[in-house]
């Protein structure tokens, strides 16, 4: 009973019963206490009767829109977070939602991971807001949840600090899952703009035609179906920060438009010639090498230089040394707590495997692996057999522990022979065998090589 009341509570509001059911199941599995309502009136009743930490509401609902609920929560429950779910056709609703105080929006369709990441971010924002309210003099913690003690990450923290103190455009680079979005948030929330909106835009995920009207808005009659004027994300981000994620995916025509905004700090709505000044700071991220794209003629050089005023380069996890341990322990603690379990530890051998694995998916992969481990294992200590097969295998390869005896022997024989300049008599002496045996072993080496060549031809 007491464990339950310590869980964070989420009120889900959606008029579609199947959607409610799926979302509820996912969030309960993540350890949240979930309440549901099928319309705004029901939601208001729940809010009046119990304390809710986060409201997640659909935008489009038959009677009263989700937007009214956002306003209701903002006006009456300052300690409650709000997240809005929108569909593509109504994404402009996100603009209003953010203006009205939703801290997060999620556009359909979204994956389970995107949902859980957005919920965690919403709670992260909520916690820091409560923390600030509770103790204004609190020492600054790690900027927005970015953990790391390695020299490589200290360098990143310095770059974030520098970027936060200016309004310059920042290009954030790094492989997938290295924390680019977290870094972008850290820059925004560490800057003088922190009380204005942070608006992420996934340039890779929005069709080109839509992207323009979404960013800049459109006037009535700008295109078929534009029955009224709508503001864009740039308007929503006024005074704050806009974050172009996957900027390397933008089309040539979009690149021209972005360049113009960066140069003139002016936008015009689709279908209008009137220019309007905007005060929006631009951050961009990419997991691609933009310079390579520039060379291939796929990315404008002038835009690259405009974006790349300050660079924050996130190192891959495999170059962060013991940060892997720090993060694994952090995620293990977090997921165990979310699932209401006692703390979980790693055996020394399991830690060795985690450390030697090369983490192609970086922190996101580590986070997912740990979450799965905590879900799948009951014991309080995670040992090597609990780890995913693939990871154990690749750790073995790194330590050379996946070779057969015959392979090891062949390699050793070749190395010894090479070390004596090909002198077979000397090599046989060192190996403690006679020359005939050595010749046989060497035949096997060259025999297996030519067999290898042969099979690769067929
Ligand atoms: N240093 C870190 N400390 C704690 N959590 C981190 C850190 N870096 C990343 N994460 C977590 O890892 C996940 C991936 O991070 P994020 O989405 O910022 O990566 P990304 O670089 O934007 O990835 P992609 O290129 O795939 O979009 C998130 O859940 C984030 O919270
Ligand atoms: Mg990202």
Q: Same structural domain for residues 285 and 194? A: yes
Q: In what order do the strands lie in the sheet with 310-313?
A: 198-202, 241-245, 281-286, 170-173, 310-313
> What domain range is 359 assigned to?
318-399
Q: From atom 10 of ligand 1, which residue's Cα is the shortest distance away?
A: 179
Report the pLDDT value the prediction gives residue 409, as an integer from 0 to 100. Answer: 85
The answer for residues whose C-beta is within 8 angstroms of residue 4's C-beta and 6 or more apart is 33
Span 183-196, pLDDT tens digits: 999 999 999 999 89
Report the pLDDT value the prediction gives residue 143, as an integer from 0 to 100. Answer: 58
CA angle 337, 144, 122 (to 5 degrees): 65
SS (H, E, C) 231-274: CCHHHHCCCCEEEEECHHHCCHHHHHHHHHHHHHCEECCECCCC
Q: Same structural domain for residues 56 and 128? A: yes
Q: How far is CA 168 from CA 176, 250, 283, in A?
A: 24, 21, 9
Q: How far is CA 18 from CA 11, 42, 64, 290, 406, in A?
A: 16, 17, 20, 42, 58
Which ligand is located closest to the Cα atom of residue 157?
A: 1
Q: How far is it, in rounded angstroms, from Cα 318 to Cα 59?
A: 41
SS (H, E, C) 159-214: HHHHHHCCCCCEEEECCCCCCHHHHHHHHHHCCCCCCCCEEEEECCCCCHHHHHHH
Residues linked to residue 104 through DSSP beta bridges, in sequence order: 83
Q: Same structural domain for residues 164 and 127? A: no
Report the pLDDT value the prediction gives residue 446, as an integer from 0 to 100. Answer: 64
Instruction: Average pLDDT across each block of 10 residues of the chain; the chain has 458 residues. List them in order.
Output: 64 92 93 94 90 91 85 84 76 66 79 89 80 47 77 94 94 97 95 92 85 92 87 92 95 93 92 92 96 96 95 96 92 89 88 90 96 90 87 65 74 83 89 90 66 37
Report the pLDDT value the prediction gives residue 140, as an integer from 0 to 100. Answer: 35
Q: Same structural domain for residues 272 and 168? A: yes
Report the pLDDT value the prediction gives residue 154, as an integer from 0 to 100. Answer: 93
Report the pLDDT value the prediction gives residue 401, as an integer from 0 to 100. Answer: 60
Q: Same structural domain for residues 100 and 178? A: no
Q: Same structural domain for residues 258 and 348? A: no
CB 226 within 8 A of CB 219: yes
CB 232 within 8 A of CB 267: yes
Q: Same structural domain for residues 47 and 133? A: yes
Q: What is the CATH number of the domain that holds 260?
A: 3.40.50.300
Q: Same structural domain for residues 166 and 267? A: yes
Residue of 122, 179, 314 with the most ligand 1 atoms within 8 Å of its CB, for mutation: 179
Chain position carrying tokens 């409201």 = 55
Question: Based on the structure, what is the number of domains in the chain?
Answer: 4
Q: Same structural domain for residues 355 and 416? A: no
Rounded to the nearest whole angstrom, what is the distance from the C-alpha of residue 144 to the centroid of ligand 1? Answer: 11
Q: Same structural domain for residues 276 and 158? A: yes
User: Which helix (H) or strand (E) element contains residue 312?
Assistant: strand 310-313
Q: Same structural domain for residues 63 and 116? A: yes
Could you write out the DSSP letters of every residue in 136-149?
TTPPP-SGGG----
Q: Choose one of 351, 378, 399: the last residue of a domain.
A: 399
Q: What is the pTM of this model?
A: 0.63
CB 270 within 8 A of CB 278: no
User: Which helix (H) or strand (E) element contains residue 12?
Assistant: strand 9-13
Q: Choose one of 118, 139, 160: the last residue of a domain.
A: 139
Rounded to the nearest whole angstrom, what is the distance from the C-alpha of residue 19 to the centroid of ligand 1? Answer: 27
Q: What is the CATH number of the domain that holds 418?
A: 1.10.10
* Ligand 1 binding pocket, CB closer than 6 Å: 117, 145-148, 174, 176-182, 287, 327, 363-364, 367
Q: How far is it, in rounded angstroms, from Cα 267 to Cα 260?
A: 8
Report the pLDDT value the prediction gives residue 397, as an integer from 0 to 100. Answer: 59
Q: How many other C-beta atoms are found inside a 10 Å radius of the C-beta of residue 380?
A: 11
Report the pLDDT value the prediction gives residue 325, as an integer from 0 to 100. Answer: 92
Q: Same structural domain for residues 220 and 354? A: no
Q: Choose one of 260, 282, 315: the last residue of a domain.
A: 315
Report the pLDDT value the prediction gives residue 267, as an integer from 0 to 100. Answer: 93
């Amino acid at each position: 009973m007491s464990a339950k009341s310590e869980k964070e509570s989420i009120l889900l509001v959606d008029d579609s019963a199947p959607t409610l059911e799926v979302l509820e199941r996912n969030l309960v599995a993540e350890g949240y206490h979930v309440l549901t309502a099928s319309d705004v009136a029901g939601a208001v009743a729940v809010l009046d009767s119990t304390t809710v930490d986060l409201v997640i509401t659909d935008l489009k609902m038959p009677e009263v829109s989700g937007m009214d609920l956002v306003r209701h929560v903002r006006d009456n429950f300052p300690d409650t977070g709000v997240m809005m779910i929108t569909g593509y056709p109504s994404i402009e609703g996100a603009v209003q939602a953010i203006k009205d105080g939703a801290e997060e929006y999620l556009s359909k369709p979204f994956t389970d991971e995107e949902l859980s990441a957005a919920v965690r971010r919403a709670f992260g924002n909520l916690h820091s807001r409560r923390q600030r309210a509770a103790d204004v003099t609190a020492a600054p913690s790690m900027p927005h949840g970015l953990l790391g003690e390695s020299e490589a990450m200290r360098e990143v923290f310095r770059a974030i600090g520098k970027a936060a103190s200016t309004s310059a455009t920042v290009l954030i680079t790094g492989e997938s899952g290295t924390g680019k979005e977290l870094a972008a948030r850290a820059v925004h929330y560490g800057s003088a703009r922190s009380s204005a909106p942070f608006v992420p835009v996934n340039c890779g995920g929005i069709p080109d035609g839509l992207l323009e009207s979404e960013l800049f808005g459109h006037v009535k009659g700008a295109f078929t179906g534009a029955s009224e004027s709508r503001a864009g994300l740039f308007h929503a981000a006024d005074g704050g920060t806009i974050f172009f994620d996957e900027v390397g995916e933008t089309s040539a025509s979009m690149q021209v438009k972005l360049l113009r905004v960066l140069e003139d700090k002016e936008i015009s709505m689709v279908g209008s010639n009137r220019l309007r000044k905007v005060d929006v700071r631009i951050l961009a991220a990419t997991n691609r090498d933009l310079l390579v794209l520039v060379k291939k003629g796929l990315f404008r050089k002038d835009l690259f230089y405009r974006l790349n005023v300050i660079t924050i380069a996130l190192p891959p996890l495999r170059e962060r040394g013991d940060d892997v341990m720090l993060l694994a322990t952090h995620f293990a603690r977090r997921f165990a707590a979310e699932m209401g379990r006692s703390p979980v530890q790693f055996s020394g051998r399991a830690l060795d495997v985690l450390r030697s694995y090369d983490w192609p998916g970086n922190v996101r992969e580590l986070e997912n692996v740990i979450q799965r481990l905590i879900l799948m294992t009951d014991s309080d200590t995670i040992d090597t057999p609990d780890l995913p097969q693939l990871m154990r295998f690749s750790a073995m390869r790194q330590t050379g522990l996946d070779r057969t005896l015959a392979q090891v022997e062949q390699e050793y024989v070749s190395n010894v022979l090479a070390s004596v300049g090909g002198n077979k008599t000397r090599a046989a002496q060192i190996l403690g065998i006679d020359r005939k045996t050595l010749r046989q072993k060497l035949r096997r080496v060259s025999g297996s090589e030519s067999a290898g060549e042969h099979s690769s031809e067929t």
